[in-house]
Each structure stands twice: as C-alpha cells, then as structure tokens.
Structure 1
Amino acid sequence: MTKTWPRRAVLALTAAPFAAPWIARAQPAPDWPTRPATMLIPFVAGGPSDITGRSIAQAMSTTIGQPVVVENRPGANGEVAGRAMARAAPDGYTMMTGSIGVFAINAALRPNLGYDPVKDFTPITLAVTTPNVLVVNPEKVPVRTLPELIAWLRANPGRASYSTSGVGSSDHLTSELFKQRIGADIAHIPYGGGAAAATDLIAGNVQLSFQNLGTVAGHISGGRLRAILQTGPTRSAVIPDVPTAAEAGLPDFVVTSWQAVMAPGAMAPALRDKVAGAVIAALKTPQVTERLGSIGLTVVANTPEEYSTFQQAEIARWRGVIAAANIRPE
C-alpha cells in the first residue's frame, strides 16, 4: 500500500536542503565577550609586536567592556607562543599579535615548526606595516644614491658586509632579496636584534643594513646613518626625503615588515567576525593610529579574508627567497 504524504510535508522535506545554508547564516553571533581575554605576544616587551599588541589590547578593553590582558611568551623566534596558540580553544578569548617572522617566514624557513600559521590559526587582521630602510655607515661607504652604492659594492667585491637582527628575520630576507636583484657579494653578519645590528653599523664594523624604520629613524635624523632607500610602496612621513626603492632605481622591490592578529584555528565564522570587528575598531581609534604612526607603523586593519590572502602570498614569496639563498635556520 502506497502511503500518501500531505502536500505541506512534501514541500517542507524538499525545501530542507536549500533552507539549511540560510539557517546556518542566520544563526546569531555568540555572546562574546563575557569574561577577560588574553593577547599573546611572542616576544619580549618593547618591540613592534609588543607595542602593537598592547595598543590593541588597551583600546579593546574599553570598547568590549572586558579586560584584554597582555601576556608575553618569548622564545624560539615566536614558536613558544605559536604552539600555545595552536592548542588554545577557538572561543575568542585567546589572540596573538605577531610579526612577519611568526606568521610567514617561520613557515618558509623551518620545516619542523611546531605550529602551522595557516592551518592552526584563524586570521583576524593585518594590523600594521612598516618599511625597511637601506642604511649605510656614511664614513665607511661614501655614497648617497642606489646607483652609487651598487658601483661601490662592485668596486669592492667581498669586502662589504651587512648586519641583521638575526637569521630569518625580515631585514635578513630583505637583504638577500636585494643581493639577488643587484647581483652583489655581501657577507651576512647576524645579531641578536635590530638595535645591536644598528649599533655595530654605526661603529663601522659592517657597512650597510636593511632595518625597520622605527629602529633607525633616530640614527638617520642624527646623521649617524645615511638612508639610501625605503622599501614601502610610498614614502614614509617619518623620513619623507628618502626615496622608495622604485624611485631610487629598483622597481618591484616593495617589502614591508608587518604585525598581524590571529586567533586559534577552527573558530566559528560568526565569532571570528565579532573578534575581528573589535580588533579593527581598536586599531582605527585615533589614539592607537597616532601612537603607532609616531614610530613608523602604518595601520592597515583589513578583513580576515584580505589578511589570509596576503599572509599566504608572503609565505610563498619568502619561501622562494630562502630557497634561492640556501638559508638554513640557526
């Protein structure tokens, strides 16, 4: 005997597969936040990641009505904090502000990294960018322009060296990309941070360096270092007289050091959007924008999707540079 279904029941059943996605999209965002949150920083206090993360946390604490506690977890070039983030619950109460090294270069440089910055994390936003600046010791390298520097390097093969804040750092890979582009032989001298790299450059123990703008701006204005070019897409207001790489004669050489905010992986989209909205709003407050701008950091505050695309492109870019230069982790 054939069972006859009521017409309304049949319509409900046939519509169900098409209704499900709409129902999922219509789900309200979770009730967040209801308790304090934590902002992990993968480095010691005082650096760009710390300053950016603390600025975000302070502004967010006001706007979301819950404290955002900053927790510095330095170690292994960000891997200690990265592992902690990968294990954290994706509930919106753990975030991390980290650098290009933590979220891109580590993945390209270290095959046995203890976290995957794409699979294990949820993108929130690209917080800030800053250019690197090619600086020379004016007493050791008597040049003012890029063509003069290239001519000097070619006239002194094997005699020039450059300082960096460490193997695999943004300034190291920028220098290697520069070497590949101009075909120069320049020895790498790594240090334990940008300040030490700049100090030895000023002392004349090395001849040139690519350093974050915030690290060398004061030395440039004080005449201790001479800036040849900056690697941002446009000139920085902090050093407006210094040309971009393209203006100096090196096209398609845009490199920025950056800080981003991420959360643990597998975060629900509705919750991710709420967290991202709060972080982006914090970055766009005048106090935060002005504070970060005063040290050469430009606020980006883009969407999670835009940052995800940018991050994966950066990983691919630096993987190519690392392979071409045969760079190995320390």
Structure 2
Amino acid sequence: MKKKLSLAVCMLLVFALVLTGCSGAASPAASPDSSSAPAASATASAGDVDWPTKPITLLVGYSAGGSSDLGARFLATALEKQLGQPVIVENKPGSGSWVAWNQLLYNTPKDGYTFALTNLSVLFGAYDEKNPRKETMDDFELMANQAIDYQVIAIRSDETRFTDFASLVEYSKNNDLLVAAASTGITSGEGSVAKMMEKEFGSKITLVPVEGAKDAETMFVSKNTDILFNNVGDTTNSHKKGDYKVIVVFGKERSTMLPDVPTAIETGLCDYVSFSARGYGYAKGVAPSIVEKMTAALAKAIEDPECVKNMNDMGVEIKLYTGDEYKELLRNQLDTRLEIWGIPKK
C-alpha cells in the first residue's frame, strides 16, 4: 500500500514539473535591449520597477558655474529627495551640448542611470547651417521641461530715440540698428528676433557677432550697440536696478520675473513668441517603466519649493511640462522659427 502511495505521489510531482516547464517555454524571450533587471521590463508598472538602486548621472553640456549648470544642480538636489539616490552632475561642454548628447546617445547604457539637460537644440540641430546634425528629437526620450526663458528687447535708461517697442519699430524702419548676438540663424533666439523684425516690419538690423550673452550686454551698456536682444533670465536684475529698461517680452503672457513689461502680443504689433527651454531627457531605449518613474520624480523635483526659489533668484521662470506636452512645446517653437526663416520642415 505504501509503495502504491509513493508511486502516486511521484507521478503527481512529475506532472507538476512538466506543466511548469511548458509554462516557461511559452514565455517570450527577452530582447537584447532589455538586459536590465526583469522589473524594468516594458510591462512593469512604475511602482513595481526596482530602480534606482545606485547613483544617477546628469550630463550637462555647459561649463560649471553658468545658469544652465546651476539650474541642473538645483534640480539634482531636489531629485535626490524623490529617488533616494545621489544625482551626480557631470559637465560635458562643447558643440552646443552635442558633446554631452553624443555621450548620452552612443556611449551610455540605456538602463535609466544617465540622463541629460536638454534644450531646443535637440530639434534645431538638423537645421544648423554650419554643422547640421543627423540626430532628431526622436532619438531622445524627452521627459520634463523645467524652465522657459523668453526673449526680450532692452534699451538704455537714457535712450531718447525710442522709448517702447512701438517707437523702436518705427525708428528701425528708416534707421540702421546694431545688435550684438552670440549666434545667428534659426538656432539663435536673438538672431530669430532680428529676422522676425526684418520680415514683419522691414527693420534694418545688423548683428554683430560676439562670444556670449555677457559680451553682448557689455557692448550694449558701453554704447557700442544700439539695443539689446537677450532673455528674461539675463536681464531681470539689471532691469530692476535701472541699469537699462526691458521694453518687450516675446512670450504668450507676461513674465512673472518682469510683470511690468508688456508682451509683443499686448502691443498689438505682432504675435511672435520666442524662448529658450531647459528640460531633461534620456536616450531612446530606456524601459518605459523607468521613464514613467523618472518623469514623475522630475515633475516633483522641478516644483520643489527650494528648487523653485533658487531658480527664481536667478531670474529663471519655472514652467513644468511633461511627456507629450513637453514635446509639443518644443515642436511649436521649431515651427515658429522655421516660418520666420522660410525653411522647409524636414
């Protein structure tokens, strides 16, 4: 009797093992791109994924100490609170951030442990006349926008030829104006404002090339140029101190940093909107579950009160966009500039 019972038990065990083996054989094989932990698979929810379990690197395509670098460091500190892991900022300056982005796209595992500061050049690279890029926005997994910095025009406090945007436009139709700019073409916010004024009003504007925004401001203050094309972040403090006067902001609404300055839309002269945007993204190929979790963490970090205060103290306005809304924000600005420059969309 005991022998029969033992035989029956053994048969049941063998049957169970066969069923288990068949079940395993029916599971799809992991793809080469999903070599990370099983919890990071595309089917895992953001709450299930076992990530992060080690420090995370944030690539910044600018030198340490600038406003873009500082903004990234403020974000990194806030992000550590959300993820419970150190976020290490690594500066990789050069080629308008493409040194950092090339490392992200081609020399970094797609495991969610390296992301980068992104901006409009992710889209504009393909339209750069001097150094066109094969990469497009589709090569990035854009997650969250942290800040928008609208372009502005400023005049000197003692300027008498024009006092506001309307009188500047009228003056520029019949008089040449010198403006310093760090870059030109579609990739340049300042250059695009000049192109818009030329196209919309027939303005006579000559751009003087300089190394950076600070050099442009120095030439303007020393009266070597007539007006200043810049952005809200770089002009807020000087405007408030009375060093010079910002007369128009090229935003959809007034900047909270410069609430006394009208938008171009308010003046009724044009509806042009131009800005630089700072956000964060992965290279395409990171598991969706990790992207989802990182996007949620970024959104909370961007709106962290201490991070917001630090950004505002620099004159930078926080504008959170995530996912598809972030991508749409960038696409709209690309379309605006393509129209201004008369360039067909690729």
Q: Post-superposition shift, 1:306?
A: 1.2
Matched, 1:219 2:238: yes
Aligned mates of 1:297, 1:90 — CA distance in 2: 31
> Does the C-alpha gap of structure 1 residues 220 and 241 become closer, same or farther in structure 2, counting only changes over 3 Å?
same
Aligned pair 1:166/2:210, yes or no? no
Paired residue for 2:57, among 27, 38, 41? 38
Q: Is 1:94 aligned to residue 114 of structure 2?
A: yes
AA aligned to 1:27 is: A
TM-aligned CA deviation for residue 26 of structure 1: 5.1
Name 1:134's counterpart in structure 2: 153
Contact 1:163 1:189 in 2 (8 A): yes
Corresponding residue for 2:319? 300
Q: Pick one of 316, 319, 330 that aligns with 1:311.
A: 330
Determine the structure 1 residue equivalent to 2:10: none
Letter in 2 for 1:290: K
Alpha carbons 1:236, 1:296 under 8 Å: kept: no
Name which one, 1 or 2, has greater alpha-carbon Rg: 2
- Which of 49, 73, 82 pairs up with 2:92? 73
Distance 2:318 2:127 in 1: 25
Cα 1:26/1:58, change in 2 over 3 Å = same
After superposition, the Cα gap between the structure-2 partners of 1:317 and 1:122, relative to the gap in structure 1 and judged at 3 Å, is same
Counterpart CA distance in 1 for 2:165 and 2:334 is 28
Mark the CA change 1:115 to 1:74 in structure 2 (over 3 Å): closer, same or farther. Answer: farther
- Which of 190, 200, 217 is the aligned partner of 1:181? 200
Which residue identity lines up with residue 174 of structure 2 in the other structure?
A
Q: Please list, as runs of the form range in 1=range in 2, the aligned pairs for 1:14-163 lying within 5 A after superposition.
A: 27-29=44-46, 30-87=49-106, 88-100=108-120, 102-110=121-129, 113-114=132-133, 116-139=135-158, 142-156=161-175, 159-163=176-180
Contact 1:86 1:115 in 2 (8 A): no
Match of 1:6 in 2: none
Aligned position for 1:11: none
User: What is the distance in 1 between the residues matched to 2:100 and 2:76?
Assistant: 17
Name which of 272, 279, 295 aligns with 1:253.
272
> TM-score if structure 1 supplies the norm length?
0.83
CA contact 2:58–2:87 (8 Å) conserved in 1: yes
Counterpart check, 1:235 vs 2:224 = no
Give 3-state SS (helix, strand or coil) of 2:285's partner: coil
- 1:155-177 residue CA offsets vs partner (Å, 9 max, x unmatched): 32xx3111123233222223322
Deviations 1:203-257 (A, max 9, x none): 1111112211121222223333222211122222322221111122333222222
CA distance in 2, matches of 1:28, 1:237: 37
1:55 partner amino acid = F
- Superposed CA deviations along residues 8-52 of structure 1, whole A, max 9, x for unmatched, are xxxxxxxx9xxxxxxx97533431101111111111123332122
Higher mean Cα deviation, 297-306 or 64-73? Answer: 297-306
SS of equivalent residue, structure 2 residue 65 = coil
1:105-158 per-position Cα deviation (integer Å, ceiling 9, x unaligned): 3332248545524122111111111222111234455311222112211232xx
Residues in 1 aligned to 2:51 and 2:197: alpha-carbon distance in whole angstroms: 46
Q: Percentage identity across aligned positions?
A: 26
AA of the residue aligned to 1:193: G
For 1:90, give the aligned amino acid.
Answer: K
Q: Is the 8 A contact 1:108 1:322 kept in 2?
A: no
- Residue 309 of structure 1 deviates from its aligned partner by 2.1
Specify every segment of 5 or more residues in structure 1 that has no aligned partner in the other structure, as ranges: 1-15, 17-23
Distance 1:221 1:142, change over 3 A: farther
CA separation in 2, counterparts of 1:48 and 1:37? 21
Check the 8 A contact 1:198/1:216 in 2, yes or no.
Answer: no
One-letter code of the match for 2:254? R
Q: Secondary structure at the match of 2:52?
A: coil
1:114/1:107 CA distance change after superposition, 3 Å:
closer
Q: After superposing the two structures, state which structure 1 stretch, 85-94 or 108-117, moved more.
A: 108-117
1:3 match? none
User: Residues of 1 paired with 2:250 and 2:334: CA distance?
Assistant: 18
How high is the TM-score relative to the length of structure 2? 0.80
Structure 2 CA distance for partners of 1:84 and 1:319, relative to 1, 3 Å: farther
Structure 1 pair 301–266 and aligned structure 2 pair: CA distance change class (3 A): same
Could you list the runs of 4 or more consecutive aligned residues of structure 1 that deviate by over 6 angstroms after TM superposition?
none
Q: CA RMSD in A?
A: 2.3
